[in-house]
Structure 1
């Protein structure tokens, strides 16, 4: 039997980004490149990849991730890392983090900010003390499961996406929208747990790592439904991105009061 301890998979959702950086990825990572954009990549990059697959440009990163989980499976190593074609805008220490897998939790966010250079989030929230990995930049963002807004700073974009989803599905104010989405994706137990809480957490850019046995535990039907949702309304792709940590087991926060608005059945 092959010992896969210390080996991992890296799934890259590429659009038009140059991928020269993958040549600096540690050798214990198998690369899976999914190309939704420009021309084929240089041969030296293709030779480094275990998987190279062109895809239609739909569904944001989540469609790519779900395609990998459905077609390739959970992988034989310890972790699968999911990332964009250019992870560094959201995760400036991405390559260094790949060398720190021994410090990761079972579900590990690997990003720091949305766009640090424009203050999203503000610099007051991006201090070394906030990092989950000592010496490197990693943090999770807290957000409302009912409004989709960030909790520690004002993000009009998040508010807009939440409002769009609520209007799209004709949900009343105060409803736990993330629980509604999880129910739509046929994850009823997780939807029920989500409905009992008010706060979620996510990692920017949907850049994260998860132990492969947790991928294997996800029902096939739920993966199919999530992919169908991701390639549908734009808001659905964003909702998938914010739920990955919870889909793989990170708990929701802050219990909801009894007697809140009932979540309509999907």
Structure 2
């Protein structure tokens, strides 16, 4: 079973020594100034969405049966009220693999969002300067309707709001490679996340991987 699992890690400068305790195949995409050994270096743009879409585009035809997408330090987003550890993460991964779950977010919480990604903390005074898009809303409906041949719902439930999740290769390929190439272009067009495009994708992962092929557009190559 372990041979069917691959971890895709979006690292900045985090200590990722924990990955060796899991004993799964993994790849590290590094955006920090001090890359780890054997990591793939990427420009520091587009948050983890840029990393994830880069991997999917590069590996589309040879994705692992189970792909686990992780940030460099995932533990404050998993477990009971964010008190997760390596064992918590391993339990999540093995549960998905054992039950054949096509997609699962690992965050301990979920979000209910409106068209502008509210509620969010991008207006809080104490967060000023932490993000280029501070003070702005999140273009959730805009990105949703660019990606899909569907109208944005009245309210969207984000079940993988922290960008930590597992998805099967087969489920990823329910959308064409051109879909992910287009999504990558959207992220690259907002490299500093000044418009909060990356924040929008944090709330869209379960919809990207929901397997609803009726949502696929037929013109991604032209966009």
The normalised TM-score by structure 1 is 0.63
1:82 Cα deviation from its structure 2 partner: 0.4
Change (3 A) 1:158 1:5: farther
Aligned to 2:174: 217
Aligned to 2:58: 71
Contact preservation (8 Å) 2:116, 2:141:
no
Q: In 2, distance between residues paired with 1:106 and 1:70?
A: 19
Q: Identify unmatched segments of 5+ residues in structure 1.
A: 47-51, 113-138, 167-176, 252-265
Dislocated runs of 4+, deviation >6 Å: 158-163
1:63 Cα deviation from its structure 2 partner: 0.2
Q: Deviations over 1:113-151 (max 9, x none)?
A: xxxxxxxxxxxxxxxxxxxxxxxxxx4x1322323124x
Q: In 2, distance between residues paired with 1:67 and 1:108?
A: 20
Q: Deviations over 1:198-242 (max 9, x none)?
A: 232232320001111111122223212211222333100111111
Q: How does 1:87-236 map to 2 (within 5 A)?
A: 87-91=74-78, 92=84, 93-101=88-96, 102-103=98-99, 105-112=101-108, 139=109, 141-150=110-119, 155-157=120-122, 164-165=136-137, 177-184=139-146, 187-189=147-149, 192=150, 194-233=151-190, 234=193, 235-236=196-197
The normalised TM-score by structure 2 is 0.74
1:39 Cα deviation from its structure 2 partner: 2.1
Contact preservation (8 Å) 1:74, 1:80:
no
Q: In 2, distance between residues paired with 1:74 and 1:145?
A: 35
Alpha-carbon RMSD = 2.9
For these two proteins, the number of residue pairs brought into alignment is 193
Contact preservation (8 Å) 1:179, 1:195:
yes
Change (3 A) 1:105 1:180: same
1:22 Cα deviation from its structure 2 partner: 0.8
1:81 Cα deviation from its structure 2 partner: 0.7
1:99 Cα deviation from its structure 2 partner: 2.8
Q: Highest CA radius of gyration, 1 or 2?
A: 1
Give the 3-state SS of the residue equivalent to 2:182 in structure 1: helix
Please tell me whether residue 246 in structure 1 is matched to residue 207 in structure 2: yes
